[in-house]
């Protein structure tokens, strides 16, 4: 089922410029190597960069989906979106994921759906995705660190996934878990970085909101490893850390799940993590952000600009308390 919401500020796919084809020398070498079917650059000083466009598989049968961009809010280049990442399983520096994720194997992949639902089980990714329509969604991504991007994701509606697996009335939250594979994810060899696995959660009504998707691709192609291949969450009104990558388990639960960053530093990161320019991080202001590629900072928008779509979910809640 395709949910389409048309708003005056929508931009249709045909108006979107193609991803930047600029690649630096190292990326060009890696991309060429990969395109020729060679993984020879892995482990030889040149990381096997999963850089596109054209390196990852092109996704077919993608519907033009909901996209809400302010005018003059252009897309981030593919190069930036695929090389400036947070994915602590591969290291804590922004360039670590692209450099260390080359040996990660997102295929074959299985997803377990369990907990309070009728259709539970472990599914091959293809089987899990098959009943659903792929859609393109161009969303702003606002990291809690006060930088942002605009990325064209391809994914499936999370609400459709929920409906298909038929949660019981007791299921109030969904919990998502990232894969644990320390042999392929060097960051996971240290438990001082974060407690593994990385876990995130949503309240059921947040999961059912039409903006929530499970992404399998970006810029027309399957996700690069560093962006959370092969399956990651995307909730554009929340800080980036909610958008858990490389998901292997989806559980329907009755209690609010403990999410990783809240466990790690509860006074800094909560469960809701809604983008809110009026609630500062204890160590910095959230009023402004730097769009990657821009020089000047811009104002951060309430709910990252998706207030119309999601504000009603939090009616009556004190957002200073539920940060």
Ligand X SMILES: Nc1nc2c(c(=O)[nH]1)N[C@H]1C(S)=C(S)[C@@H](COP(=O)(O)O)O[C@H]1N2
Give one DSSP letter per residue of 130-173, joined into a string.
TTS--EEEEEEEE-TTSEEEEEEEEEEEHHHHHHHH-B-TT--E
Q: How far is the CB of 83 from Mo ion (least distance, A)?
A: 15
Give one DSSP letter per residue of 161-173, joined into a string.
HHHHH-B-TT--E
Q: How far is the CB of 278 from ligand X (least distance, A)?
A: 20
244 touching ligand X, by CB under 6 A? yes
Q: How far is the CB of 143 from Mo ion (least distance, A)?
A: 3
Instruction: Tell which one of 237, 241, 271, 314 touches ligand X (CB under 6 A).
Output: 241
69 touching ligand X, by CB under 6 A? no
Strand partners, 178: 247
Instruction: Tell which one of 34, 56, 69, 89 touches ligand X (CB under 6 A).
Output: 89
241 touching Mo ion, by CB under 5 A? yes
300 touching ligand X, by CB under 6 A? no
Nearer CB in complex with Mo ion: 88/173: 88
Instruction: Tell which one of 117, 143, 213, 218 touches Mo ion (CB under 5 A).
Output: 143
The pair phi, psi for residue 113, each rounded to 5°, is -115, 120
Residue with tokens 């049968």: 61
Q: How far is the CB of 144 from Mo ion (least distance, A)?
A: 5
Residues 6 or more apart whose CB falls under 8 angstroms from that of 19 comprise 52, 53, 75, 77, 78, 219, 220
> Tokens in use for 283?
């160590």
Residue with tokens 């929920």: 162
262 touching ligand X, by CB under 6 A? no
Which residues bind to ligand X, rule: CB under 6 A?
85-89, 141, 143, 178, 198, 227-228, 240-241, 243-245
Which residues bind to Mo ion, rule: CB under 5 A?
86, 143, 240-241
């Amino acid at each position: 089922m395709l949910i389409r919401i048309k708003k005056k500020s929508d931009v249709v796919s045909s108006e979107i410029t193609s991803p930047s084809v600029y690649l630096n020398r190292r990326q060009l070498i890696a991309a060429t190597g990969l395109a020729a079917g060679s993984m020879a650059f892995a482990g030889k000083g040149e990381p096997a960069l999963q850089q596109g466009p054209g390196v990852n598989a092109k996704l077919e049968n993608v519907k033009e989906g909901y996209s809400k961009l302010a005018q003059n809010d252009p897309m981030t280049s593919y190069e930036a979106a695929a090389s400036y990442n947070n994915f602590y399983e591969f290291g804590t520096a922004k360039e670590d994921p692209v450099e260390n994720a080359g040996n990660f194997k997102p295929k074959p992949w299985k997803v377990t759906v369990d907990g309070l639902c009728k259709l539970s089980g472990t599914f091959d990714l293809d089987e899990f995705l098959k009943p659903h329509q792929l859609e393109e969604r161009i969303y702003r991504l606002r990291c809690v660190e006060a930088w942002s991007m605009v990325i064209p994701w391809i994914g499936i509606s999370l609400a459709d996934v929920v409906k298909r697996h038929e949660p019981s009335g007791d299921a109030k939250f969904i919990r998502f878990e990232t894969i644990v594979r320390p042999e392929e994810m060097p960051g996971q060899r240290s438990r001082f970085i974060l407690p593994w696995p990385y876990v995130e959660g949503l309240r059921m009504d947040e999961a059912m909101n039409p903006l929530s998707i499970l992404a399998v691709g970006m810029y027309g192609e399957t996700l690069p490893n560093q962006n959370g291949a092969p399956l990651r969450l995307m909730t554009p009104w929340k800080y980036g850390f909610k958008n858990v990558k490389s998901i292997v388990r989806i559980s329907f639960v009755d209690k609010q799940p403990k999410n990783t960053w809240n466990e790690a530093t509860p006074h800094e990161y909560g469960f809701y993590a809604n983008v809110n320019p009026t609630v500062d991080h204890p160590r910095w202001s959230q009023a402004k952000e730097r769009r990657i590629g821009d020089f000047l900072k811009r104002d951060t928008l309430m709910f990252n600009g998706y207030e119309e779509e999601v504000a009603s979910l939090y009616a009556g809640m004190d957002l200073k308390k539920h940060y």
